[in-house]
Amino acid sequence: MSYHILDERSVADYLRALPAVMDRFSKGAELDAKEVGDGNLNLVFIVSNRFSPAEKVVVKQAVPYLRIAGEGWPLSRHRMRFESQALLLHNRLVPGLAPAVFYVDDEMSVVVMEWLGRHEILRKRLIAREVFPHLGDHLSTFLAETLFRTSDCYLSAAEKKSLQSAYINTELCKITEDFVFTNPYMTSPENRWNHEIDAQAKDLRANKHLKLAILEMKELFMCNSQALVHGDLHTGSIMVNQEQTRVLDPEFAFLGPMGFDVGAVLANLATSYCSHFVHTADAGERNAYQEYLIRTMKGVWEGFAMKFEALWSTNNTGSLCPDPYWQFPSGSQAFAEFRFRYLRAVLRDTAGMGGCKMMRRVLGIAHVAEFESIADPVRRAQPERMALRVGSRWVQERESFKGVDDLIGVLLEETSSPTQG
Amino acid sequence: MSYHILDERSVADYLRALPAVMDRFSKGAELDAKEVGDGNLNLVFIVSNRFSPAEKVVVKQAVPYLRIAGEGWPLSRHRMRFESQALLLHNRLVPGLAPAVFYVDDEMSVVVMEWLGRHEILRKRLIAREVFPHLGDHLSTFLAETLFRTSDCYLSAAEKKSLQSAYINTELCKITEDFVFTNPYMTSPENRWNHEIDAQAKDLRANKHLKLAILEMKELFMCNSQALVHGDLHTGSIMVNQEQTRVLDPEFAFLGPMGFDVGAVLANLATSYCSHFVHTADAGERNAYQEYLIRTMKGVWEGFAMKFEALWSTNNTGSLCPDPYWQFPSGSQAFAEFRFRYLRAVLRDTAGMGGCKMMRRVLGIAHVAEFESIADPVRRAQPERMALRVGSRWVQERESFKGVDDLIGVLLEETSSPTQG
């Protein structure tokens, strides 16, 4: 079907012609659609069966402009191809950790997927101090499986190149290059920040050592095609309930450094940690929840590293270092050492990438709800300053980090006297 | 024209229909063709005007198999697309330093280019101790211009991605991954080496530290898309005379680390250096020529670094670090420091990549004429052992290198007592 923009009426007609979608509904279903997209980029419809409203699917369609800015900011709708092919890959690699996909239509820039009515956005639930006991386990599995199985540790050279050619995601990479790695640290019209932290913003934008370190991370982001990364793995791209975790919205997917995804998760947990100095007045409650966040950071990194190591040592099928390369006395120790060094390098990238992500959420165009929901700018400045200090140290000290405890140590140090906020 | 394999008869008919080619000949030319390809991959015809034999062009056509192995080893003829588009780019970026291209036919996997009858292959002339006074200057210009202008220092993000998508050179990258970075250092049926160096080969293939370092270079080769590299820049891909230098055969072109090209040049000059302990018996003559080779190595690196730095500081148009990023007190010093660090990292990659290239020419499938032309295996073993020692140290010690003098220092040290060879 040639491209046209769907609306609440036409989306139902569109779905009725798709058996793979109608199979999700009882026989004789009448479809009602409601547009609910609050994002910046896409139309999102929830389509339900009038006779059995619990039967629902989600229809996501890209429009050929940046929705938040209107038709004056064109953005190719072909970005939906990156999202749908990444979702299909995640369905295959980590079923249950991404929304189930029922139908993909590249012509229409449409993907039809599972309705996540029993799940909520993780970022909001972290503000509300909800504990998700499986979160670290689920996210570390998502990271280990998706990153390992799209890297040269697992894929043949031809498979990797074919992945690379399918994920040259020019437009959305450029958004990240600008809004995560460049503009927040210089004068740029779209930047906005709390004027209570004017002094810190100014200092940071003139900190030569920090800016050189950020640029090293940008270069890595632009030039390192280590694995297929999600590319936007913040806590707003994760939906959860007590049993399940779903990672969504992989439209930024491209071949990049693994640390960009792992760092996004850790940075967002650290941001939440900082925010609770304001959100949670009761010290006991605050400590308990912050300990949970730290445990989850540890669980994400250590789970990721352990699962990645286990996958690699038992599935060394990739073209990076075929088994015969290790056939010499002490070869298996050498391979173990290579895997160890590889993961230590991912940790350092994680710190560097995560640090940029923390800072840009305070200084750049896109902010986070855990800070924005603090109405008083004086109070909001406290966790914002913490996030800047932690992010800045993560980027600059990354080469010295040997484990996730080093990242957590910086977070604890920089938040230990909240009054200095 | 749909693809068919040309022969000495049909190539003349083929050219007659191409005005862009016939313009190179006098009016009324009669074309005679001779197949002269001694390479492994392609047919090469020299086509001349019977009435004025100095009027010649070269026609290069890819066949859909690896020529050296026959039709049983299929290799997509589309590799010619990488060569022809890289040649056209080099014609634009460094006219005079690549053969002039007259016609490209992707359907036929053909490129028609300048006949280099007044030029000879550099590798052979280095064996003959010929001095080329402009070589370092020409090669450093080629490297600086082609690498800078295809990097994120110069290109917009969209231009870089479009280059990336045009140069996903799966098959030829795989050849390099296997034959430069993997197989020579393990048991692999196509490896061959001088049995006089059995002990060194065995030690090297079991040297854990070296093998980990080589693998770091392989990972960089596979994952770092810094610039469009030539990809096979040894002294057999360079044709010279006293005035001119032409870089040819860029069929391995892809987005990779700059050090892979710079390292290829330095490694081949170092290999030549080692070979003269056998080729040149007279100590005075040998010293003089080896000093020329060292001067050329210095000239290549220092010329490259100086020209790259000059290009960058005056053409910072790329998306890596736009000028506003540097607008803060001491910003211009910070930018200068970033360029300095960037080039130091290229030097380290140069040493690592060059080191692998030296070793693989002794241990792997493809050897070099400066060694192979030494018939006596005992005498040949001397420069071969030197090349292994130098290459091994370049790879392992690269992180400590601050300038090309460090690479040259290792070369001098490891060749200072030729009897240990």
Residue A268 predicted with pLDDT over 60: yes
Residues 97-156 of B with CB under 8 A from A: 152
In chain A, residues with a C-beta closer than 8 Å to the C-beta of B208 are 328, 330-331, 333-334, 337
How confident is the prediction for chain A on average, in pLDDT? 95
HSE toward the beta carbon, residue A331, CA cutoff 13 A: 15
Contact A177 B157 (CB under 8 A): yes
**Structure token digits, residue B103:** 């016609």
Average pLDDT over residues A282-292: 98
Choose among A130, A87, A90, A364: nearest CA to A235.
A130
Alpha carbons B190 and B172: distance in angstroms, whole number: 17
B-chain residues near A165 (CB < 8 A) = 165, 168
Instruction: Please list, residue by residue across A206-230, b when 16 or more beta carbons sit within 10 angstroms of its beta carbon and e when fewer do.
Output: bbbebbbbbbbbbbbbbbbbbbbbb
B residues 335-354 closer than 8 Å to A (CB): 337-338, 341
Q: Is the pLDDT of residue A394 over 90?
A: yes
Q: What average pLDDT score do residues A324-339 get?
A: 97
The widest CA-to-CA distance across chain A, in whole angstroms, is 69
Report whether pLDDT(A71) > 70.
Answer: no
Beta sheet of B110-114, edge-to-edge order: B31-35, B42-49, B52-62, B110-114, B101-105
Tell whether A327 lies on the interface with B, counting CB pairs under 8 A: yes
Per-residue pLDDT at A201 exceeds 70:
yes
Tell whether the model's pLDDT for residue B418 goes beyond 90: no
Q: What is the dihedral of CA B195, B201, B205, B208, to 10 degrees?
A: 160
> Is 70 exceeded by the pLDDT of residue A212?
yes
Residue B224 three-state SS: strand
Do the chains contact at A325 and B177, CB–CB below 8 Å? no
Per residue in A340-361, pLDDT (tens digit) is: 999 999 999 999 999 999 999 9
Predicted pLDDT at A75: 72
Q: Nearest residue on chain B to A327, judged by CA atoms?
A: B186
pLDDT of residue A1: 72
Enclosing H/E stretch for B140: helix B135-148
Interface of B with A in 46-65 (CB under 8 A): none
Is residue A159 within 8 angstroms of chain B, CB to CB? no
Cβ-defined contact of A211 to B334 (cutoff 8 Å): yes
| A182 touches B at CB < 8 Å | yes
* Class of domain B120-420 (CATH, top level): alpha beta
CA–CA dist B231, B258 (Å, integer) = 9
Q: Which of residues 215-234 of B touch A (CB under 8 A)?
A: 215, 218-219, 222-226
Which chain B residues are closer than 8 Å to A344 by Cβ?
none
Mean pLDDT for B62-84 is: 77
Task: Express each pLDDT in B223-255 by its tens digit.
Answer: 999 999 999 999 999 999 999 999 999 999 999
Q: Average pLDDT, whole number, for chain B? A: 95
User: Of the candidates B161, B325, B331, which has its C-beta nearest A168's C-beta?
Assistant: B161
Please check whether residue A116 is in contact with residue A60, taking contact to mean a CB–CB distance below 8 angstroms.
Answer: no
d(CA B299, CA B141): 11
pLDDT bucket at A305, cuts 50 / 70 / 90 = very high
How close, in Å, is residue B151 to chain A by CA atoms? 10
H helices present in B206-330, as ranges: 208-223, 258-279, 283-314
CA distance B315 to B309: 10
Residues 307-326 of B with CB under 8 A from A: 319-322, 324-325
Mean pLDDT of A129-158: 98
Task: Return the H-helix or E-strand segment holding B56.
Answer: strand B52-62
Query: Is 90 exceeded by the pLDDT of residue B40?
Result: no
* C-beta separation of B359 from B204 below 8 A: yes
User: What pLDDT is attached to residue B65?
Assistant: 73
**Residue B74 confidence (pLDDT) above 80:** no
Distance CA A176, CA A172 (A): 7
Tell me the C-alpha distance between B295 and B371, whole Å. 22
d(CA B416, CA B421): 9
For residue A105, what are its two tokens? 């239509």
Q: Do A225 and B225 touch (CB under 8 A)?
A: yes
Q: Which residues pair with B281 in a beta bridge?
A: none
Distance CA A275, CA A128 (A): 11
What pLDDT is recorded for position B66?
67
Q: CA separation (Å) from A232 to A248, A286, A328, B360, B379?
A: 9, 28, 42, 41, 60
Predicted local distance difference test score (pLDDT) of residue B419: 58
Distance CA A44, CA A47 (A): 10
8 Å CB contact of B324 and A223 = no
Note whether B223 contacts A225, CB cutoff 8 Å. Answer: yes
Please tell me if residue B189 touches chain A, with a CB cutoff of 8 Å.
Answer: no
* Best residue of B170, B178, B214 to probe chain A, by most A CBs closer than 10 Å: B170
Q: What pLDDT sits at residue B406?
A: 98
Using the beta-carbon criterion (under 8 Å), do A187 and B330 form an inter-chain contact?
no
Which has the higher per-residue pLDDT, B40 or A418? B40
d(C-alpha A406, C-alpha A403), whole Å: 6
Using one digit for the tens of pLDDT, what is the confidence trace for A22-50? 999 999 999 999 999 876 678 999 999 99
Contact A170 B187 (CB under 8 A): no
Contacts of B196 (CB under 8 A, 6+ apart): B377, B378, B380, B381, B384
β-pair partners for A65 = A74
CB contact under 8 A, B325 and A182: yes
Q: What's the pLDDT tens digit per position in B333-391? A: 999 999 999 999 999 999 999 999 999 999 999 999 999 999 999 999 999 999 999 99
The domain segmentation of chain A, as residue ranges, is 10-114, 120-420
pLDDT at B42 over 70: yes
Q: How far apart are the CA of A312 and the nearest CA of chain B, in angstroms?
A: 15
Contact (Cβ atoms closer than 8 angstroms) between residue B131 and residue B241: no
Q: At B227, is the secondary structure helix, strand, or coil?
A: strand
Q: Locate the chain B residue with the closest alpha carbon to A337.
A: B212
CATH superfamily of the domain spanning A10-114:
Phosphorylase Kinase; domain 1 (3.30.200.20)
Distance spanning both ends of chain A, measured CA to CA: 55
**Joined tokens for residue B10:** 């049909």
R_g (Cα) of chain A, nearest Å: 22
User: How many A×B Cβ pairs under 8 Å?
Assistant: 126
* Gap from B376 CA to chain A (nearest CA, Å): 30
Residue A64: the pLDDT is 83
Nearest CA in chain A to B189: A324
Q: What is the pLDDT of residue B235?
A: 98
CB contact under 8 A, B160 and A222: yes
What local confidence, expressed as pLDDT, does residue B41 receive? 74
Taking contacts as CB-CB distances below 8 angstroms, the residues of chain B near A166 are none
Q: Quick check: B59 and B11 in contact, CB under 8 A?
A: yes
pLDDT band at B43 (very low <50, low <70, confident <90, very high): very high
Partner-chain contact B320 A215, CB within 8 Å: yes
Share of chain B above pLDDT 70, in %: 96
Chain A residue closest in CA terms to B187: A324
Residues of B in contact with A327 (CB under 8 A): 186-187
> What confidence score (pLDDT) does residue B68 get?
58
Confidence of residue B417 (pLDDT cuts 50, 70, 90): confident
Helix (H) or strand (E) holding B59: strand B52-62
Q: With contacts defined as CB-CB under 8 Å, which chain A residues touch B213?
A: none
Q: Are A359 and A392 in contact (CB under 8 A)?
A: yes
Answer whether A206 touches B (CB < 8 Å).
yes
Q: Is residue A68 over pLDDT 70?
A: no
Find which of A76, A160, A161 to mutate to test the B interface (most B CBs within 10 Å of its CB): A161
Could you tell me the CA-to-CA distances from B196 to B193, B383, B384 in Å, in that order? 8, 12, 10
Query: Cα dist. A120→A24, A126, A247, A248, A260 in Å?
Result: 22, 10, 11, 12, 24
The predicted complex's ipTM stands at: 0.95
Burial of B246 (0-12, 13-18, 19+ CB in 10 A): buried
CA distance A13 to A35: 15
DSSP string, B20-55: HHHTTS-TT--EEEEE---SSSEEEEEEEETTEEEE
Q: Residue A227's closest chain B neighbor by CA?
A: B223
Nearest by CB to residue B177, choosing from A177, A205, A319, is A319
Using DSSP bridges, classify how beta strands B120-121 and B110-114 pair: parallel, antiparallel or unpaired: unpaired
- Report the gap between the CA of B389 and the closest CA in chain A (Å): 20
Written in H, E and C, the secondary structure of chain A is CCCCCCCCCHHHHHHHCCHHHHCCCCCCCCEEEEECCCCCCEEEEEEEECCEEEEEEEEEEECCECHHHCCCCECCCCHHHHHHHHHHHHHHHCCCCCCCEEEEECCCCEEEEECCCCCEEHHHHHHCCCCCCCHHHHHHHHHHHHHHCCCCCCCCHHHHHHHHHHCCCHHHHHHHHHHHHCHHHCCCCCCCCCHHHHHHHHHHHCCHHHHHHHHHHHHHHHHECCEEECCCCCHHHEEECCCCEEECCCCCCEEECHHHHHHHHHHHHHHHHHHHHHHCCCHHHHHHHHHHHHHHHHHHHHHHHHHHHHHHHHCCCCCCCCHHHHCCCCHHHHHHHHHHHHHHHHHHHHHHHHHHHHHHHHHCCCCCHHHHCCCCHHHHHHHHHHHHHHHHHHHHHHHHCCCHHHHHHHHHHHCCCHHHC
Give me the residue from A177, A215, A334 closest to B212, CB to CB: A334
Residue A397 has pLDDT above 70, yes or no: yes
User: Judged by CB atoms within 8 Å, which residues 362-391 of B form the interface with A?
Assistant: none
Question: Virtual CA dihedral for A143, A145, A146, A148, nearest 10 degrees?
Answer: 100
Cβ contact, residue pair A208, B177, below 8 Å: no
DSSP 8-state secondary structure symbol assigned to residue B1? -
CB atoms within 10 A of CB A144: 23
Contacts of A161 in chain B (CB under 8 A): 168, 170, 173
Q: Would an 8 Å CB–CB cutoff place A202 in contact with chain B?
A: no
What digits encode the pLDDT tens for the residues A163-191?
999 999 999 999 999 999 999 999 999 99
Residue A70 pLDDT greater than 70, yes or no? no
Phi-psi region of A28 (alpha: psi -120 to 50; beta: other; left: phi over 0): left
Write out chain A residues lying below 8 Å of B174, CB-based: 157-158, 319
Taking contacts as CB-CB distances below 8 angstroms, the residues of chain A near B223 are: 152, 224-226
Owner of token pair 């006074």? B133
Strand order in the sheet with A120-121: A120-121, A238-240, A245-247
DSSP track, B318-359: SSSS-GGGG-STTHHHHHHHHHHHHHHHHHHHHHHHHHHHHH
Cα of B258 to nearest chain A Cα, Å: 12
Distant-in-sequence, close-in-space partners of B239: CB < 8 Å, separation ≥ 6: B116, B119, B120, B121, B122, B245, B246, B248
Q: How far is A343 from chain B (nearest CA, A)?
A: 13
What residue type is B107 in one-letter code? E
Residues of chain A found within 8 Å of residue B182, distances taken between Cβ atoms: 321-322, 325
The answer to whether the beta carbons of residues A109 and A14 sit under 8 Å apart is: no
Cα-only R_g, chain B:
22
- Asked if A239 and A116 touch (Cβ cutoff 8 Å), the reply is yes
pLDDT at B38: 72
Residues 7-46 of B with CB under 8 A from A: none
Cβ burial of A32 (10 Å; 0-12, 13-18, 19+) is: middle
Structure tokens at B263: 């390292």
Position A33 scores a pLDDT of: 97
Which of B165, B174, B224 comes nearest A168 by C-beta? B165
